[in-house]
Every structure is written in structure tokens, then in C-alpha cells.
Amino acid sequence: MKPLRLIGLFLLVALLVVIIGPLIIPVPPLPDAVPVTALMDDDSRFVEVKGIDVHYKQYGSGEPVMILLHGFGASTFSWREVMQPLAQYGTVIAFDRPAFGLTERPMPGEWSGESPYTLNSQIQLLMGLMDQLGIERAVLIGNSAGGTVAAAAALAYPERVSALVLVDAAIYAGGGAPAWIRPLLRTPQFDRLGPWFARSIAGEQGDAFLRAAWHDPSKITEDIIQGYRKPLQLANWDRALWELTKASGESQLAGRLKELSMPVLVVTGDDDRIVPTAESLRLANDIPGAKLAVFPDCGHVPQEECPQSFLEAVVGFLSEIK
């Protein structure tokens, strides 16, 4: 066989492996799912927003209303240390963003139009939640990717956001997969294997991400690990996480920060290895009039690792803007 023909045959076989292989590789099923009722806490509540059953928790009463938005891979659980203390100063609501916690996970084919996992859909869900709970204006407190949603919502609906607290917020980087690879994520090959890739969050890679989020990982107890893993017992959590990945994109927020007119507090640990501390310092500088609080010996989730410092900074900020 001539060399060129041999090379052509080799390339053809390789192409067939790439195209067909992912479609026939067996993907092991998830363990039997646990019903959401078995995973609810005593303070769990649900409300239907735009056709999605949203899980939330609520403490306190009166003004201001504070809405807490968790980061990637987290849930209302990540606010456990600060929810009730903050409720001494007003109403506190934390909810599970789409693809996380106990909030319903719509599957492909169950929605028409825009995916419920896009940034815009998450903003609309937040506004819908406020409508359902009768909240006209709120202080949005967002950690990491939750900070992305909070900032984007404040830009889209400034009349409904009285103040912002951006906690190690992902503004300049992140936003999911690089632009060049996003078209591939929507191919049948990636779509079939994507949920299998997403399952890495349930194992050592997920634990490594959690450890990286803390300045002192020795503070992470087995109860904390299990608190993060608990929602991964629900049906289709891996597919929902993949749909979130497919729907992700650059937020384009960096160029609009000067439009934020409400009071803003930027908080960060001095050892954030997920969203580098330098990015939060830049964020505070780029937002007109923003306040800044940097916590020593603290990582990406100060509301968990350094709750007292977090509370002092947020309560002090709220007292200044009354």
C-alpha cells in the first residue's frame, strides 16, 4: 500500500474513532436517586418560579432584605454560619441556584426557548423569586459565581437592588469553558459524555476544589464535605451540571462596572486561590465608591472559613447605608 494511502486510511480510522467512540462508550448509571423530600432540612422551603421548584431558606423579618447567592458546586449550605446572625438585622433569604442544591433541575426537552442555566435565565429566576416572595428591593450578597449573578442582576435591574456585597466574586475571569471549545460542547459526542465528566465533582476533584477554597483546609470537617455532597444524591444532577457548563459564557461585566450606582462592598480573603485576591482588589477599585474588606488568613469562602470577620464587615456596611 502506498504511504499516502496508508496515512489517509490511518486518518480515516482515527476520525471514525473520535466521532463514533464517544457515542458507544458505555456510561455507567448513577446510583439510585434519593427523593428530594429525604434531603430537606427542617428549614427548607420551596416556591415555584418560572416553572422551576426553587429551594430556599428564610430567616428574620423586616428591612433590609438580604438575598444570598452561592457559588459553583455549593448551595444554601454554604451560608449556614451567617444566615441566622444576619437575620438579627433584617430578612435573610438563601436559595439554590439552578443545577445546585435541592432546586429542581430541568432536563433538555423540558423547556422551550433559552436554557434555564444561562446567566440571563438565572437573573430572571432571581427577579421571579423576589416577585413570588413579595420583595421589591434587596441587598444581593453573592459569593464567587453567585457574585457574577448578583452583579449582572444589579446592572439589569438597578431599581430592585439596594446594595451589593460581592464576596470573592468571579467578574474578570471564569464564565465556563473557553470560547473556542463551546461549539464542541454541543456536539452529540460531548453531550453524551459530558455528564460523566461532570461527575468528577462528586469525587476527589471536587474535594480538591473544596480544599483549594479554604486558606486552612484542616478546618474542613467530614460534616462539611457531606454537606456539599448531599445534593449529589438527586436524580440527573450530573446532566444538570453539564447543561450549566454548556450554557456558560463570558459575563462581559468588567466593562460595565462603572454603571453600578448602588452602594457596593467587595470582600475577599487574603489567600483566595480560586478567584485571586488581586482580582477583588481590582474590582473594588473599578466600581465607583466601592468599599473593600480583606480578611487575613482566609480563602475563597469567608462566610464559611471566617464567618465572624465576614459578619462584622457586612453588618458594618449595612449600618452605613441605612
In order of start, what are the domains of the chain with their CATH numbers?
44-321 (3.40.50.1820)
For residues 174-184, give the mean pLDDT.
Answer: 60
Cα–Cα distance measured from residue 155 to residue 138, given in angstroms and rounded to the nearest whole number: 14
At residue 39 the predicted structure's pLDDT band, cuts being 50, 70 and 90, is: very high
Tens of pLDDT, residue by residue over 109-123, are 899 999 999 999 999
Grid cell 473557553 is found at 178
* CA 1 – CA 123 distance, rounded (Å): 60
pLDDT digits over 289-298, tens only? 999 999 999 9
> Residues 67, 145, 252, 276: what is their CA dihedral angle, to the nearest 10 degrees?
120
Question: 120-150 pLDDT, tens per residue?
Answer: 999 999 999 999 999 999 999 999 999 999 9
Q: Is the pTM of this model over 0.95?
A: no
- Does pLDDT of 302 surpass 70? yes
163 has pLDDT over 70? yes
pLDDT for the residue 15? 37
264 strand-pairing partners? 164
Q: What is the mean pLDDT of the chain?
A: 89
Are 254 and 173 within 8 A, CB to CB? no
Please check whether residue 319 is in contact with residue 90, taking contact to mean a CB–CB distance below 8 angstroms: no
Number of alpha carbons in the 13 Å side-chain half-sphere of residue 200: 8
The pLDDT score that the predictor gives to residue 11 is: 41
Helix 222-229 and helix 204-212, axial crossing angle in degrees, nearest 10: 120
Q: What is the pLDDT of residue 194?
A: 79
Count the alpha carbons within 13 Å of 116 in the hemisphere toward its beta carbon.
25
Provide the CA 183 distance to its chain's centre, in angstroms. 22
Residues 113, 89 contacting (CB under 8 angstroms): no
Q: Indicate if the pLDDT at residue 171 is higher than 80.
A: yes
Grid look-up 449550605 returns: 77
Distance CA(191)–CA(214), nearest Å, equals 32
- Mean pLDDT of all residues in 181-196: 69
Percent of the chain at pLDDT above 70?
Answer: 86
Those residues with Cβ within 8 angstroms of residue 76's Cβ, 6 or more apart along the chain or in another chain: 55, 56, 57, 68, 70, 94, 95, 96, 101
pLDDT interval class at 13 (50, 70, 90):
very low
Phi and psi at residue 296, in whole multiples of 5°?
Answer: -70, 150
Mean pLDDT of 84-96: 98
pLDDT tens sequence across 230-263: 999 999 999 999 999 888 878 889 999 999 999 9
CB 214 within 8 A of CB 297: no
Is 80 exceeded by the pLDDT of residue 9? no
Residue 23 has pLDDT above 80, yes or no: no
Cell of 305: 472559613
pLDDT mean over 18-39: 72
What was the pLDDT predicted at 203?
80
Which amino acid is residue 289, in one-letter code?
Answer: G
pLDDT at residue 29 in the model: 74
